[in-house]
């Protein structure tokens, strides 16, 4: 249900007032850092120049994201393409600068492998065992299915098992897509761009539609934090074209996700942003957000959401008052998140918000059959 009326207006105003991190945008020093870090990987620069184009681009993008994750870049989206241009010029290769719009859909990792067996939840099922497997209710089906895109990190935590149980109890099959673990991404060291999560979700959908116990006409997606950023990307038809997807999700729900990002650790003033949500989005989308979230501030979504709704786009949202990022993660209650500018937020687990968000998600999926 979309937030509206006086209370919603006050919440939106409060979110828009969240102070942005004060930091410079991409500088020559940041561009040079990426450039020199790439060059340092090779004893002879000709080795880099002789790589296939996709490998050169993959290396530059990964280096940029790694440095951003390590909080060494104020504007990775602005600096990365310029560093890549410098590297190509030194190789004698002339090509256009990669735009933020192109970077938005850049997914260069190798495809994930999905478990071919059908699984059922049991007493010994752990969060880690959910990764890239299909868990289904008892019975022959076919069942509607939900692809869950998790938060950032190198492991799957307890809240995903809770959500999987809730969805299975509501009659949905579930696949938790682990973008991180199989590729060796590590929190704070090396992390993927949101496009990787979006492509993985589409690959999971392509896998699910082939299963006889899955209702191919009712496959949904939900995401949490990084996974919620993925959700916003999936609402646009551009991604399905960029990734040559076999189909689209029936509807998607983002939990404490953002509508644009400039880095992993704050939405900086002046930094080049990647738009996650765009006005061309044409699939039902529900954004569930937290008023006190400084990791993925609701302010990134306004006024865009209101403009989209005014033109008839199938978007809904709800902002939970006095709530922080990761409201559903009992296991991370009390964790302190800090931006590069020194702002901080302590995660607060909220069982009532968690239940309400779950209820809204399931109702939204059932609404869009």
**pLDDT interval class at 24 (50, 70, 90):** very low
pLDDT single digits (tens) 138-149: 999 999 999 999
Tokens of 44: 């002879």
Residue count of the chain, please give it. Answer: 369
Burial of residue 58, with CB atoms counted within 10 A of its CB: 0-12 exposed, 13-18 middle, 19 or more buried: middle
Count Cα atoms within 13 angstroms, Cβ side, for 195. 22
* Domains of the chain as residue ranges with CATH: 26-104 (no CATH), 118-367 (3.40.50.1820)
Give yes or no for a contact between 194 and 233, defined as CB atoms under 8 angstroms apart.
yes
**Which pLDDT value is given to residue 268?**
61
Q: Mind listing the pLDDT tens digit for each residue in 176-199? A: 999 999 998 888 788 888 899 999
Per-residue pLDDT tens digits for 281-319: 999 999 999 999 999 999 999 999 999 999 999 999 999
**Nearest 10 degrees: Cα torsion 28, 34, 35, 40:** 140
Cα(96)–Cα(159) distance, integer angstroms: 43
Distances (CA, A) of 209 to 150, 194, 227: 21, 23, 21
pLDDT above 60 for 13: no
Q: Which residue do the tokens 């191919």 mark?
A: 216
**Interatomic CA distance for residues 291 and 14, integer angstroms:** 8
* Cα–Cα distances in angstroms (integers) from residue 356 to residues 28, 76, 82, 132, 258, in the given order: 47, 36, 44, 26, 20
Query: In the block, which residue shows the tokens 């990734």?
Result: 243
Note the pLDDT tens digit of each residue in 222-267.
Answer: 999 999 999 999 999 999 999 999 999 999 999 999 999 876 655 5
What's the rounded Cα separation, in Å, for the pair 329 and 225?
11
């Amino acid at each position: 249900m979309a937030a509206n009326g006086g209370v919603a207006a006050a919440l939106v105003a409060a979110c828009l007032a969240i102070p942005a991190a004060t930091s410079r945008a991409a500088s020559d020093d940041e561009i040079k850092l990426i450039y020199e870090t790439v060059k340092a990987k090779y004893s002879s620069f000709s080795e880099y120049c002789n790589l296939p184009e996709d490998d050169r681009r993959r290396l530059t993008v990964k280096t940029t994201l790694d440095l951003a994750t390590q909080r060494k870049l104020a504007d990775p989206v602005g600096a990365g393409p310029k560093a890549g241009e410098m590297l190509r010029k030194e190789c004698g290769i002339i090509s256009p600068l990669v735009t933020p719009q192109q970077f938005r859909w850049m997914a260069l990792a190798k495809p994930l492998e999905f478990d071919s067996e059908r699984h059922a939840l049991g007493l010994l099922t752990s969060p880690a065992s959910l990764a890239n497997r299909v868990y289904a209710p008892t019975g022959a089906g076919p069942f509607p299915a939900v692809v869950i895109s998790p938060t950032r990190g190198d492991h799957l935590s307890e809240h995903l098992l809770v959500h999987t149980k809730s969805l299975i109890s509501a009659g949905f099959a579930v696949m938790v897509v682990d973008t991180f673990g199989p590729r060796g991404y590590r929190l704070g060291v090396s992390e993927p761009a949101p496009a990787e999560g979006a492509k993985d979700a589409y690959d999971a959908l392509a896998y699910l539609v082939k299963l006889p116990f899955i209702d191919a006409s009712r496959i949904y997606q939900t995401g949490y934090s990084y996974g919620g950023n993925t959700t916003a990307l999936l609402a646009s038809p551009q991604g399905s074209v960029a990734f040559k997807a076999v189909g689209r999700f029936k509807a998607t729900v983002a939990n404490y996700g953002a509508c644009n990002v400039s880095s992993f650790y704050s939405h900086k003033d002046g930094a080049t942003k990647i738009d996650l949500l765009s006005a061309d989005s044409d699939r039902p989308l529900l954004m569930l957000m937290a008023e006190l979230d400084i990791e993925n501030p609701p302010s990134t979504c306004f006024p865009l959401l209101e403009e989209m709704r005014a033109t008839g786009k199938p978007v809904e949202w709800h902002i939970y008052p006095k709530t922080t990022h990761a409201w559903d993660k009992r296991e991370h209650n009390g964790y302190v998140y800090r931006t590069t500018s020194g702002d901080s937020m302590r995660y607060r687990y909220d069982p009532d918000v968690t239940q309400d968000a779950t209820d809204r998600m399931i109702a939204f999926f059932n609404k869009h059959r």
